Amino acid sequence: MSLLTIENFINNEHVKPSEGSYFDTFEPARGVAHALIPNSSKADVELAYKAASAAFPSWSKTSREERAKILYRIADLIEARLEEFAQAESKDQGKPVELAKTVDIPRAASNFRFFAGRILHAVEEAGELAGIGFSYTQRMPIGVAGLISPWNLPLYLLTWKIAPCIASGNTAVCKPSEFTSLTAYMLCSVLKEAGLPAGVVNMVFGTGMGAGQAIVEHPRIPLISFTGGTVTGAKIIANSAPHFKKLSLELGGKNANIVFADCDFELALKTSVRSSFANQGEICLCGSRIFVQRPIYEKFLSGLVQGAKALKVGDPTLKDTDLGAVVSKEHWEKIVGYIELGKKEGGTIECGGQKPASLEVEFQDGYFLEPTIISGLTPNCRVMREEIFGPVVTIYAFDTEEEAIQLANDSEYGLSCSVWTENGRRARRVASEIQAGTVWVNTWMARDLRMPFGGMKKSGLGREGGDHSLDFYSELKTICLAD
């Protein structure tokens, strides 16, 4: 089988990597190579930067109305190719096609449509300075942005960066994950067809150590938006510090899911199954630490195990598949290593922990793993503290509201939290005390693009979403006119 050869996209043209080097990317469901990815270098990033820099003066002066028209066209073109994008996302990342079709690709289109509308209705501040004159603010595009996106929600999170970046008048050098480059490659043709001028968005494919580091260290790229692991985020902070870059970092999560005894039991249980294992648990917002109030602990654990066992793991192309394959062999081995560690730390594997025995022959070499629930661990165990990023959750009983808050906050991370209770006053009290960027009460993954999104502690720096994204991708200038 011949492999698809992906090429860099620079100045609206497909370009081979300067050193002519490629590497394989694998289809997780089958464990076989399906595409060749450019092993781009510093030289390729420099070419992309020059194209973006040359395009910036014209694009930054393009009217909001014209920019919005192009973003709306991009959204329409993504939606017109929904099935094609969903199939590619599944093949490249391992997720079920149905999930990509109903979540990933529609949200990618929504990102462009939302920010197209947002810039048309943006209002600047103005005010009279008594006895002196009049002051007003002006948003200015910053220049060439470096956008580095992850492998778990490839197109969705890449467009979450591109849309506000170019809507604000910036140009971009993008680096998708080397594990999931296919839909980013497909997006290039959409951008060109939509009429985006040459050089406004450039796509450089390759590794984090190669192309990614070259973007971060580039002395004339003043802004970096990164979604990925906390360890890499720390390196980005260190490497970009000498250049005083503006940073937005969405990093790891070890999110608490707090279930009080007075919850809507069926709703909390059903949603907790989804928030534990959606996208094979490869969502930074998954509730991987489940804390259940003791009176309902045994009943909830039983229901959670039953729900996990009912999930169908296998062929991602089938409509009724719930979990596909995890992204890579190395990641599968890491997850299995944590399950073994959980046993050593005294945990009980309530269900899962194995490759499914029912896989069809063509998927026997794929990176599949049953949804796994571990009980009996103490809060200081590594499995309860370190990000696993797979279909593995821990469950632990608590007694009081104060204990639940303490357990949830006892973490290096602070990305999100879910709280389940029918007591409105308790909901407000607990939500206000949780140290996380997003707290959901009686729901999960409800995303309002107008609201700020980001993490506390080691879950990241900065906020994006709505005007927070426009603030990040802009410099805000105050102009004072004397009377």
Would you list the DSSP string of 76-121? Answer: HHHHHTHHHHHHHHHHHH---HHHIIIIIHHHHHHHHHHHHHHHHT
- The arithmetic mean of pLDDT across residues 401-423, rounded, is 97
Banded model confidence at residue 133, pLDDT cuts 50, 70, 90: confident
Q: In this predicted model, what pLDDT tens digit does every residue of 99-131 receive, in sequence order?
A: 999 999 999 999 999 999 999 988 888 888 888
Res 406 pLDDT > 90: yes
DSSP 155: H
Q: Is there a contact between 79 and 34 (Cβ–Cβ < 8 Å)?
A: no
Alpha-carbon gap, residue 226 to 71, rounded angstroms: 22
In the numeric block, which tokens belong to residue 264? Answer: 């809507």
Q: Is there a contact between 107 and 82 (Cβ–Cβ < 8 Å)?
A: no
- Averaged confidence pLDDT in the chain: 96
pLDDT score of 79: 98
pLDDT score of 407: 98
Res 300 pLDDT > 90: yes
Res 358 pLDDT > 80: yes
Alpha-carbon gap, residue 196 to 201, rounded angstroms: 8
Res 230 pLDDT > 70: yes
Banded model confidence at residue 314, pLDDT cuts 50, 70, 90: very high
pLDDT score of 136: 86
Provide, rounded to the nearest whole percent, the portion of the chain with pLDDT above 70: 100
- The arithmetic mean of pLDDT across residues 161-184, rounded, is 97
pLDDT score of 137: 86
- The arithmetic mean of pLDDT across residues 33-62, rounded, is 97
Q: Is 419 helix (H, G, I), strand (E, B) or coil?
A: strand
Q: Which of 27, 89, 250, 370 is catalytic?
A: 250
Catalytic (active site) residue 250: yes
- The arithmetic mean of pLDDT across residues 131-137, rounded, is 86
Provide, rounded to the nearest whole percent, the portion of the chain with pLDDT above 90: 91
Half-sphere exposure of 273 (CA within 13 A, CB side): 22
- The arithmetic mean of pLDDT across residues 253-269, rounded, is 98
pLDDT score of 404: 98
Lowest model confidence (mean pLDDT) among 235-244, 300-309, 432-441? 235-244
- Taken in order of first residue, the domains within the chain and their CATH numbers are 4-251+459-482 (3.40.605.10), 256-450 (3.40.309.10)
pLDDT score of 123: 81
pLDDT score of 1: 62
Q: Cα dihedral sign for 164, 167, 171, 177?
A: positive
The pTM for the full model equals: 0.95
